């Protein structure tokens, strides 16, 4: 099974895009990030994020529960190892919706993972979305600086999608997912050939 990473600057729409994508593809499951930050309006525990206390998060670090974790704007975020292992045991791919920093850590562990960067259509559109998150105004300058740093990391990813239209963006993400299943590496892992003679050649 494969690991897929979807990264984007904060406010670029990665949650919306990933939810639409997952509603159309049933062979991949999102790994829900654990965080110590407070839920935003409309967010649900165990669906958007797993919200826990800082004390519980630190305990999980000691237990080795995360593939990667980091502090972002004073809050802790981590990718739970058990969800990825559970998906693998069920023959399901894993989608990690994480930031650039987390993506770098995951690529060090899963060197053959597929990484996709979601680029906002413009800085103005991104800043507008960020400013609407009134509870985070105190971090706005810091967030703008981080956005620019994350956009500079675009070349580290395998694919780039511009999120100027949700429907088109999701269609392109589905295209990437389908194409990734047609690589030689994937074929050799799961040959789709029924002819016995052909199979014997691959196994020789």
Domain CATH number, residue 192: 3.40.50.300
Max Cα-Cα span within the chain = 66
> Among residues 38, 43, 6, which one has the least CA distance to residue 22?
6
- The pLDDT, as a whole number, for residue 73 is 80
**Residue 40 and residue 3: Cα distance in Å, rounded?**
27
Which one has a higher pLDDT value, 163 or 73? 163
Q: Tens digit of pLDDT for each residue in 38-63?
A: 998 888 899 889 999 999 999 999 99
Domain residues for the domain of 65 are: 3-203
- The pLDDT, as a whole number, for residue 120 is 85
What average pLDDT is seen over the chain? 87
Which one has a higher pLDDT value, 21 or 134? 21
- Do strands 28-31 and 50-51 pair parallel, antiparallel, or not at all (unpaired)? unpaired
Number of domains composing the chain? 1
> Among residues 75, 174, 157, which one has the least CA distance to residue 119?
157
Q: What is the pTM of this model?
A: 0.87
Q: What angle do CA 86, 87, 89 make, to 5 degrees?
A: 65
Average pLDDT over residues 77-98: 95
Q: Tens digit of pLDDT for each residue in 150-198?
A: 888 999 999 999 998 999 999 999 999 999 998 888 877 777 766 777 7
């Amino acid at each position: 099974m494969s690991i897929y990473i979807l990264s984007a600057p904060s406010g670029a729409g990665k949650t919306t895009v990933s939810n639409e994508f997952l509603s159309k593809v049933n062979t991949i499951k999102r790994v829900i990030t654990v965080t110590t930050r407070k839920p935003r309006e409309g967010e649900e525990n165990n669906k958007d994020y797993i919200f826990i206390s800082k004390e519980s998060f630190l305990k999980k670090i000691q237990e080795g529960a995360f593939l990667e974790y980091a502090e972002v704007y004073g809050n802790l975020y981590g990718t739970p190892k058990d969800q990825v292992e559970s998906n693998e045991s069920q023959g399901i791919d894993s989608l990690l919706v994480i930031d650039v920093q987390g993506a770098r850590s995951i690529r060090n562990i899963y060197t053959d993972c597929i990484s996709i960067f979601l680029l906002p259509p413009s800085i103005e559109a991104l800043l507008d979305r960020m400013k609407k998150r009134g509870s985070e105004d105190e971090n706005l300058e810091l967030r703008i600086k981080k956005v620019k740093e994350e956009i500079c990391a675009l070349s580290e990813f395998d694919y780039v999608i511009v999120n100027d239209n949700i429907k088109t963006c999701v269609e392109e993400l589905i295209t990437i997912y389908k194409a990734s299943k047609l690589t030689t590496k994937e074929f050799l892992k799961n040959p789709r050939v029924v002819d016995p003679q052909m199979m014997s050649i691959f196994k020789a």
